[in-house]
A and B are shown apart, each in its own frame.
Chain A
Amino acid sequence: SAVISQKPSRDICQRGTSLTIQCQVDSQVTMMFWYRQQPGQSLTLIATANQGSEATYESGFVIDKFPISRPNLTFSTLTVSNMSPEDSSIYLCSVLAGGPREQYFGPGTRLTVT
C-alpha cells in the first residue's frame, strides 16, 4: 500500500493568484497522477506526473494553467495558475503502488476561488 499526504488540505484564494499543492508519498512509486473533482462530480484526470520529464496532460488541461513538477519518486507538485472561480474544486494526488490494480488517493486539497 501507499500513504499519501497533501498540503494544503484546503485554501481560499483570490482570483488571478496561483496555488501550489504538494503531494508526498511514503514510498517510491513509478506512477503519480493528478485528478480534479468538481462539486458533486466524479474524478477527472488532469495529468500524469513524470519523474524527470514534462507531465503528460489530458485533453482540456494545459501546462501553462496546471504546471506540474516531479523531482523524485516520492514527491510531486501541482500549481493552479491565474485562478478563477471555475477552478474551485478538490484536487487529488493518486499513485500506483504494488501493481496495476492498486491505485491509491491522497486526502485531497479543497480549493475555493473567490
Chain B
Amino acid sequence: GQNIDQPTEMTATEGAIVQINCTYQTSGFNGLFWYQQHAGEAPTFLSYNVLDGLEEKGRFSSFLSRSKGYSYLLLKELQMKDSASYLCAVRDARGNTPLVFGKGTRLSVIA
C-alpha cells in the first residue's frame, strides 16, 4: 500500500521560516517531489529529491531521508504570495510511473 502524510494546515508570519513535513510509506521509491498549488490553479513543480540530503533552490529547500521515509520543505523569508497548498508526492517505482500525492498542506502567511 501507499501512505503519504503531511499536516493539513499551517500558519506562519511574513518574513519567517516554515518547515512542512512529509512522511511516506510506499512499496517502492524513485523520488520525492514537492509541488505548490495556489487556489484555483494547477500544481507547479518546486523540488525533487531522490538521494538523501538537502536540495536548495533560492528561498526553498527540500530534505530527504530515505531510511526514515521522511522529507521536509523549508520556506525562508516568507512572502504573502507563498500562501498556497504544498503537495508532497512520491514516485514509487522506476520508469514512467505517475506520482502519488499526499493530501497537501495549506499554508497561510500572515502579516
Contacts and interface: CB of A to CB of B under 8 A. Distances in A.
B98 A107 contact: no
Given A30-B96, A96-B96, A103 B42 contact: no
A84 to B, nearest CB: 23
A103 B91 CA distance: 11
Contact of B87 (A43, A100, A104): A43
A31 B87 contact: no
Interface residues of A, number: 21
Interface residues of B, number: 23
A106 B91 contact: no
A25 B11 CA distance: 36
The listed residue with most A CB atoms (<10 A of its CB), out of B31, B41, B43, is: B43
Contacts of B101: 42-44
Nearest to B48: A101
Given A45-B98, A107-B42, A101 B87 contact: no
B63 interface: no
Nearest to A101: B48
Interface string B40-63: 011111001010000000000000
B105 to A, nearest CB: 10
Contact of B45 (A30, A104, A107, A108): A104
Nearest to B8: A40
- Residue of A31, A43, A102, A107 with highest tally of chain B CB at under 10 A: A43
A112 B95 CA distance: 35
Interface of B: 30-31, 33, 41-45, 48, 50, 85, 87, 89, 91, 95-96, 98-104
Given A44-B101, A101-B50, A103-B99, 4 more contacts: A42-B103, A105-B42, A106-B42, A108-B41
9 contacts: A31-B98, A41-B104, A43-B89, A44-B101, A45-B99, A48-B98, A92-B42, A105-B43, A106-B42
